[in-house]
Amino acid sequence: MSDRQPVLSLSELESFLFEVFPQIRGELTLESIGPMCAAMRLPVQEKHLRPGGTVSGPAMFLLADCTFYAATLAMIGREPLTVTTNLSINFLRKPAAAAPMRCEVRLLKLGRSLSVGEAYLYSSGVDQPVAHATATYAIPPK
């Protein structure tokens, strides 16, 4: 499994993500991809914040979901019908006020029909992860 490499470049994948999810253009950026992993970044915007300035749950969900999707598609190519079947998120710590967030996903298993991974979500200025998630995606049959 460690021989398996991404089949898309970072820019190819980012373009495809913005094509499938136009609303994330300008909202999330694809930072890096590698074998069975990806990282995305959420710079801070008013709409992501709760009163007090902390990043909202739905914004963290968006970041995690997109990063899992990116990590999977990096490995299998442009399969837009790949869908989330489960996403479970543990909120561990309060994010820093109005600070950008970063998500690192590592795929634990990439099968023919399912992709399973885990994500660590970080808030700039907070040392430990603010959230941890696991997700399962269904890969459509060819």
Here's the x/- map for its own copies, 22-61, by CB under 8 A: it reads as xx-----------------------x--xx----xxxx-x
Residue closer to its own copies (CB basis): 7 or 92: 92
Helices (H), the chain: 10-20, 57-76
The whole-angstrom separation of Cα 17 and Cα 31 is 13
Is residue 138 close enough to count as binding its own copies by CB under 8 A? yes
The whole-angstrom separation of Cα 65 and Cα 35 is 18
Which phi and psi (to 5°) does residue 124 adopt? -50, 125
Is residue 86 close enough to count as binding its own copies by CB under 8 A? yes
Among 29, 34, 97, 132, binds its own copies (CB under 8 A): 132
Is residue 20 close enough to count as binding its own copies by CB under 8 A? yes
User: What H or E segment, with its residue span, contains residue 116?
Assistant: strand 114-123
CA distances from 4 to 62, 74, 109, 119 (A): 27, 11, 12, 20
Residue closer to its own copies (CB basis): 6 or 129: 129
Among 16, 30, 39, 65, binds its own copies (CB under 8 A): 65
Is residue 109 close enough to count as binding its own copies by CB under 8 A? yes
| Alpha-carbon torsion, ordered 19, 21, 25, 27, to 10 deg | -160
Q: Binding residues for its own copies, per CB under 8 A?
A: 1, 20-23, 47, 50-51, 56-59, 61-62, 65, 83-93, 108-109, 113-114, 116, 118, 127-129, 132, 134, 136, 138
